[in-house]
Chain A
Amino acid sequence: MDFSDPQRHADGMSRPKESFIPELGSVVDALPGLVWTALPDGHVDFVNQQWREYTGFSGDAWQMAIHPEDLPRLLECLRSSISTARACEAEVRMRRFDGEFRWFAVRANPITDASGTVIKCCGLNWDIEDRKRGEELLDLAQKAARAMAFDWYIQQKINAWSPEQEALYGLPPGTFDGTYESWKKLVHPDDWPGVVASLKHAQETGNISAEYRVVWPDGSIHWLSANGLMFFDDRGQPFRMVGFTADVTRRKQVEEELRRTRLELAHVARVMSLGALTASIAHEVNQPLSGIITNASTCMRMLEADPPNVEGARETVRRTIRDGHRASDVITRLRALFSKKQATTEVVELNQATREVIALTLSELQSNRVILKTELADDLPLVAGDRVQLQQVILNLLRNASDAMDSVDDRPRQLLIKTEQDADGGVRLSVQDTGVGFELEKMNKLFEAFYTTKKDGMGIGLSVSRSIIANHRGRLWASANDGPGATFSFSIPCDRTVRDN
Chain B
Amino acid sequence: MAEATATGTTGEEWQPKIVMFCCNWCSYGGADSAGMGRFQQPPTVRVIRVMCSGRMDPMFILNAFLEGADGVLFSGCHIGDCHYVNGNYKATIKYKFLKAMVNELGLEDERLKLDWISASEGERYAEVVTEFTEQIKKVGPSPLKPEGVI
Same complex origin of A and B: no
* B residues neighboring A (CB under 8 Å): none
